[in-house]
Amino acid sequence: MFMAAGTTQGQLVLREVMDIRQAADYLGISGDTLYRYASEGFVPAFKLGNRWRFRKSLLDNWMDVKSGVTHKGLVAEPGKKKPVGSAR
């Protein structure tokens, strides 16, 4: 998780709009992976200037859909699949 400036370790501050580092920490993946996912449209994101930004509420909803959780307790329909990296 990430902390805002001036917070102590016990005071985590989650912002609604996160940069790539904050969102990667929140999701538990690397920034490089999240950048690739955002560029390929796999994860909900938008650009502010030339920087990727991520809304926490959209990431939470995206994770619910990807994990099969819905607000009514029903299994979600399968969506867009994870992008496959090219062989190097």
CATH number at residue 47: 1.10.10
Alpha helices in the chain (DSSP H): 20-27, 31-39, 56-66
Which pLDDT score, from 0 to 100, does residue 15 have? 82
Residue 70: domain span: 1-79
- Domain-embedded: residue 13: yes
- Domain-embedded: residue 87: no
- Domain-embedded: residue 18: yes
Cα gap 3→84, rounded to integer Å: 32
pTM (global) more than 0.75: no
Question: In the chain, how many domains are there?
Answer: 1
- Domain-embedded: residue 88: no
- Domain-embedded: residue 86: no
- Domain-embedded: residue 58: yes
Q: Cβ(63)–Cβ(29) under 8 Å? A: no
pLDDT digits (tens, 9 = 90+) for 29-85: 999 999 999 999 999 999 999 999 999 999 999 999 999 886 665 544 555 566 666
- Domain-embedded: residue 84: no
